[in-house]
């Protein structure tokens, strides 16, 4: 609650109190207005309280998670017998951080253009009936459980991509990303990225579609009346209007990709760090935690490291969100929100 | 550049619904023509067929012919984009592009033609268009500020500048002053009087005094009832329409008996 709001609520309660006093005084004068709507005022106050509680509740949960993570992370970098062991933790953490970011960013690079294209097709190109059914199918993609995606990626997709990796390696092995021995099973970082990209596609698409549909007719017609083609109209009127929405959609997708666990656990045959995205190896933070947490004894250094790496993921997601907000709020003057 | 407009037996449909029926009209170049009539009578619909903007709505279509000088804009193979580059339009509510600066707004249409402009050429285009829209003196010091920061009347003149910048043959105005205060309205009306030296102007207005002030010719549209098509009832010199109309419906409308 902002100070502003709390002030007003204090004021209201004083007002009602003063009102009641006045009501007692004035009852002899028969002023009917003063005593009216007492029940309504009670409900009003009750609701304000409820809303306040709900707001605080979220903060408390967030604080608990943050405190739990921070408290338990400490022993990952400080052991009582050895002192500071930051170096050991870092050498454990960095491949996982790089792996997580690589998988997510590749997924985003595949997904974002496709999602924006699909959203545009639904909102501005497809005939109304078709656009409805396409939108429905895209939303269905979001309803598929991640285990199913994992199974699909592991059994079906990886087999096909394995042949592709051999080909890529043959021609592009001079690029470090395609340098290592191509995985025979195809269960690599790139395969995991492809699976993730399908999983985040519906999120980005639906956010982008919603915002594209809201483009003011006024601006679309302004562009058309100047002699713009449909694509030029989209560039002039739709994209500038939807920019913030597209970015927040992409960030939502990135958030999902960063945190996705099950699909990565199943698809990726994890291993030590390698720059190659077509060899087996690498791992992501959530997959690492999921694979090992159950088998690690409470309070061991490994256990603390797993918690600490979770905190790192938490911070990365936080930074992603803050950057997204910053991008959205930049150039507010030109946003059209005024 | 400026062109005559000729409509021959023009019908406008929304799906199966006949919205406007049997328009025959000749609009002379370098003149101001006003469309008046009660709400829903099809004057805006007809105006939008003059640059094929009605096609934005799904199911809207036109029968008949509409000539710009000698070219039928509904002829086979004619791209509406070409038509709209020749026939500019100013809308009811000012609609500068909110993410663009004043300068970019003026150049928006110009850049669509794929013209590569040097900085100084672009400056000339901007200045010329803004002077043409009587806006230059008010905005010359803040060309890089967003267009949405201007007042409503200034925004509308910015939209006119944007339209003028692409050098159209015809400028259509759909109730351009209905969202503006009287002083801004006066500024737009003065501007219309200047623009007709170079352009054919067609304006839809609900304000009969405005039609009387700015136009040389006036067309009165009316509708027989809900669900019936709108028709052009009378088209004549503005002075005739307002002082001595030949049709009884026109007479009743301009004298304020209905509408």
Q: What is the 3-state secondary structure (H, E, C) of A213-235?
A: HCCCHHHHHHHHHCCCCHHHHHH
Distance from CA of B53 to the nearest CA of A (A): 7
CA distance B78 to B68: 12
Using alpha carbons, select from B107, B106, B99 the residue that is nearest to residue B146. B99
In a domain, B19, yes or no: yes
Does the structure show a pLDDT above 80 at A250? yes
In a domain, A84, yes or no: no
Q: Which domain holds residue A47?
A: 3-24+35-79
pLDDT at A106: 94
Q: In this structure, what token pair is assigned to residue A328?
A: 């959205």
Range of weakest confidence among A121-130, A168-177, B27-36: A168-177
- Nearest CB among A127, A221, A335 relative to B53 is that of A221
User: What distances in angstroms separate CA B40 from CA A153, A225, B46, B231, one per listed residue?
Assistant: 58, 22, 11, 11
Subunit contact B53:A225, Cβ cutoff 8 A: yes
In a domain, A100, yes or no: yes
In a domain, A204, yes or no: yes
Q: Taking residues B11-30, what's their average pLDDT?
A: 92
In a domain, A29, yes or no: no
Same domain flag for A59 and A100: no
User: What distances in angstroms separate CA A249 from CA A212, A244, B247, B251, one per listed residue?
Assistant: 12, 9, 59, 58
Same domain flag for A219 and A246: yes
Q: Hunting for tokens 């603390």 — which residue is that?
A: A304
Distance from CA of B250 to the nearest CA of A (A): 31
Does the structure show a pLDDT above 60 at B246? yes
- Nearest CB among A222, A335, A338 relative to B95 is that of A222
Using alpha carbons, select from B31, B30, B35 the residue that is nearest to residue B2. B30
Subunit contact B99:A334, Cβ cutoff 8 A: yes
Q: Which residue numbers of B have CB closer than 8 Å to A's CBs?
A: 51, 53, 56, 58, 81-82, 84-86, 88-89, 91, 93, 95-101, 108-109, 112-113, 146, 148-149, 159, 162-163, 166
Partners of A125 on chain B (C-beta within 8 Å) are none
**How many structural domains compose chain B?**
1
Q: Taking residues B143-163, what's their average pLDDT?
A: 91
Does the structure show a pLDDT above 70 at A116? yes
pLDDT at A254: 92
pLDDT at A111: 96
Same domain flag for A73 and A107: no
- Nearest CB among A127, A224, A240 relative to B97 is that of A240
Subunit contact B97:A216, Cβ cutoff 8 A: no
pLDDT at A6: 44
Does the structure show a pLDDT above 90 at A300? no
Q: Taking residues A141-156, what's their average pLDDT?
A: 91
pLDDT at A24: 54
User: What distances in angstroms separate CA B204 from CA A159, A171, B44, B180, B219, one per listed residue?
Assistant: 65, 65, 7, 15, 10
Subunit contact B56:A224, Cβ cutoff 8 A: yes
Distance from CA of A234 to the nearest CA of B (A): 12
Same domain flag for A65 and A94: no
Same domain flag for A63 and A99: no
Range of weakest confidence among A18-22, A274-278, B54-58: A18-22
Taking a C-beta distance cutoff of 8 angstroms, is the pair B235, B218 a contact? yes
CA distance B63 to A9: 64
Q: In this structure, what token pair is assigned to residue B180?
A: 């503006």
In a domain, B236, yes or no: yes
Taking a C-beta distance cutoff of 8 angstroms, is the pair B172, B202 a contact? yes
pLDDT at B118: 85
In a domain, B201, yes or no: yes
pLDDT at A326: 83
**Nearest-CA residue of chain B relative to A333?**
B146
Subunit contact A240:B100, Cβ cutoff 8 A: yes
Same domain flag for A74 and A178: no
B10 forms beta bridges with B23
Partners of B100 on chain A (C-beta within 8 Å) are 240, 334
Q: What is the mean pLDDT of chain A?
A: 84
Does the structure show a pLDDT above 70 at A19? no
DSSP state letter for A273: -
B76-80 CB contacts, 8 Å cutoff, 24+ apart: B80/B51, B80/B52, B80/B55
Same domain flag for A113 and A151: yes
Banded model confidence at residue A128, pLDDT cuts 50, 70, 90: confident
Banded model confidence at residue B40, pLDDT cuts 50, 70, 90: confident
User: What distances in angstroms separate CA A307 from CA A77, A89, A235, A257, A319, one per listed residue?
Assistant: 11, 11, 45, 19, 19
Q: Which helix (H) or strand (E) holds A6?
A: helix A3-26
pLDDT at A47: 93
Q: In this structure, what token pair is assigned to residue A176?
A: 């470090």
In a domain, B259, yes or no: no
- pTM of the predicted protein model: 0.80
**Nearest-CA residue of chain A relative to B82?**
A227
Does the structure show a pLDDT above 50 at A8? no
Displacement of CA A190 from its chain's centroid (Å): 20
Same domain flag for A100 and A54: no
In a domain, A184, yes or no: yes
CA distance B42 to B232: 9
Banded model confidence at residue A29, pLDDT cuts 50, 70, 90: low
Same domain flag for A58 and A94: no
pLDDT at A27: 52
- pLDDT tens digits, A33-86: 766 666 678 888 899 999 999 999 999 999 999 999 999 998 888 887 888 888
Instruction: Using DSSP, state whether A78 is helix, strand or coil.
Output: strand
Q: Taking residues A74-101, what's their average pLDDT?
A: 87
Same domain flag for A75 and A204: no
Does the structure show a pLDDT above 50 at A5? no
Range of weakest confidence among A22-36, A224-238, A291-305, B31-45: A22-36
- pLDDT tens digits, B75-132: 899 999 999 989 999 999 999 998 899 999 999 988 887 667 888 888 998 999 998 8
Same domain flag for A46 and A111: no
In a domain, A286, yes or no: yes
Using alpha carbons, select from A100, A324, A113 the residue that is nearest to residue A200. A113
Q: Taking residues A103-107, what's their average pLDDT?
A: 94
Task: Pick the most confident of A23-27, A128-132, A333-337, B22-26.
Answer: B22-26
A272-275 CB contacts, 8 Å cutoff, 24+ apart: A272/A95, A273/A95, A273/A98, A273/A99, A274/A180, A275/A176, A275/A177, A275/A179, A275/A180
Which residues touch B158 (CB under 8 Å, ≥6 apart)? B94, B96, B102, B105, B106, B130, B133, B135, B139, B147, B150
In a domain, A30, yes or no: no
- Nearest CB among B51, B53, B146 relative to A334 is that of B146
pLDDT at B161: 92
pLDDT at A15: 52
Q: HEC profile for chain B?
A: CCCCEEEEEEEEEECCEEEEEEEEEEECCCCEEEEECCCCCCHHHHHHHCCCHHHHCCCEEEEEEEEECCEECCCCCCCHHHHHHHEEEECCCCCCCCCCEHHHHHHHHHHHCCCCCCHHHHHHHHHHHHHHCCCHHHHCCCCCCEHHHCCHHHHHHHHHHHHHHCCCCEEEEECCCCCCCHHHHHHHHHHHHHHCCCCEEEEECCCHHHHHHHCCEEEEEEECCCCCCEEEEEEEEHHHHHHCCCCHHHHHHHCCCCC
In a domain, B212, yes or no: yes
The CATH number given to whatever domain includes residue B131 is 3.40.50.300
Q: In this structure, what token pair is assigned to residue B170?
A: 């015809």
Distance from CA of A83 to the nearest CA of B (A): 56
**How many structural domains compose chain A?**
2
The CATH number given to whatever domain includes residue A94 is 1.10.3720.10
Same domain flag for A201 and A54: no
Subunit contact A226:B98, Cβ cutoff 8 A: no
CA distance A268 to A286: 12
Q: What is the mean pLDDT of chain B?
A: 90
In a domain, B106, yes or no: yes
Angle at B149 between CA B145 and CA B153, to 5 degrees: 120
Distance from CA of B37 to the nearest CA of A (A): 23
């Amino acid at each position: 609650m902002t100070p502003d709001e709390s002030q007003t609520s204090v004021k209201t309660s004083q007002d009602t109190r003063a009102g009641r006093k006045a009501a007692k005084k004035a009852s002899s004068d028969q002023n009917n207005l003063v005593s009216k709507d007492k029940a309504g005022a009670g409900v009003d106050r009750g609701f304000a309280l409820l809303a306040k509680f709900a707001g605080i509740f979220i903060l408390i949960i967030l604080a608990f998670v943050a405190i739990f993570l921070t408290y338990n992370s400490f022993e990952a970098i400080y052991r009582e017998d050895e002192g500071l062991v930051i170096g050991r933790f870092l050498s454990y953490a960095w491949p996982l951080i790089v792996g997580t970011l690589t998988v997510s960013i590749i997924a985003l690079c595949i997904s974002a253009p496709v999602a924006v294209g699909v959203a545009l097709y639904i909102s501005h190109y497809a005939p109304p009936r078709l656009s409805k059914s396409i939108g429905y199918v895209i939303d269905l993609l979001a309803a598929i459980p991640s285990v199913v995606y994992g199974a699909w990626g592991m059994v079906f997709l990886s087999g096909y991509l394995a042949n592709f990796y051999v080909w890529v390696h043959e021609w592009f092995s001079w690029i470090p990303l395609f340098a290592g021995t191509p995985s025979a099973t195809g269960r690599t970082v790139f395969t995991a990225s492809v699976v993730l990209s399908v999983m985040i596609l519906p999120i980005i698409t639906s956010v982008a579609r919603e915002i594209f549909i809201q483009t003011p007719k006024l601006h679309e017609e302004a562009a058309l009346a100047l002699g713009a083609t449909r694509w030029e109209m989209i560039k002039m009127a739709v994209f500038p209007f939807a920019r913030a929405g597209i970015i927040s959609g992409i960030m939502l997708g990135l958030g999902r990709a960063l945190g996705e666990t099950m699909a990565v656990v199943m698809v990726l045959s994890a291993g030590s760090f390698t720059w190659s995205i077509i060899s087996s190896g690498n791992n992501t933070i959530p997959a690492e935690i999921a694979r090992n947490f159950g088998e690690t004894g409470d309070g061991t250094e490994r256990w603390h490291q797993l918690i600490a790496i979770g905190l790192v993921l938490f911070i990365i997601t936080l930074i992603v969100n803050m950057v997204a907000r910053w991008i959205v709020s930049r150039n507010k003057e030109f946003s059209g929100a005024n | 550049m400026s062109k005559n407009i000729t409509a021959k037996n023009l019908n406008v449909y929304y799906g199966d619904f006949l919205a406007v029926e049997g328009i025959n009209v000749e609009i002379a170049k370098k003149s101001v023509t006003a469309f008046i009539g009660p709400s829903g009578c099809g004057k805006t619909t007809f105006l939008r067929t003059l640059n094929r903007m009605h096609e934005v709505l799904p199911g809207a279509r036109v029968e008949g012919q509409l000539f710009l000088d000698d070219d039928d804009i509904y002829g086979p193979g004619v791209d509406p984009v070409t038509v709209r580059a020749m026939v500019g339009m100013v809308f009811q509510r000012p609609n500068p592009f909110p993410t663009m600066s004043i300068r970019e707004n003026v150049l928006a249409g110009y850049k669509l033609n794929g013209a590569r402009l040097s900085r100084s050429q672009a400056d000339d285009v901007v200045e010329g268009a803004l002077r043409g829209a009587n806006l230059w003196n008010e905005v010359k010091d803040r060309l890089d500020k967003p267009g949405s920061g201007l007042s409503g009347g200034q925004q509308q003149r910015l939209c006119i500048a944007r339209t003028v910048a692409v050098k159209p043959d015809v400028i259509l105005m759909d109730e351009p002053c209905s969202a503006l205060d009287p002083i801004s309205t006066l500024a737009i009306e003065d501007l219309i009087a200047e623009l007709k030296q170079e352009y054919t102007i067609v304006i839809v207005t609900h304000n009969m005094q405005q039609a009387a002030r700015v136009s040389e010719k006036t067309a009165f549209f009316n509708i027989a009832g809900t669900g019936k098509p709108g028709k052009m009832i009378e088209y004549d010199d503005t002075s005739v329409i307002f002082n001595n109309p030949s049709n009884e419906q026109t007479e009743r409308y301009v004298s304020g008996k209905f509408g």
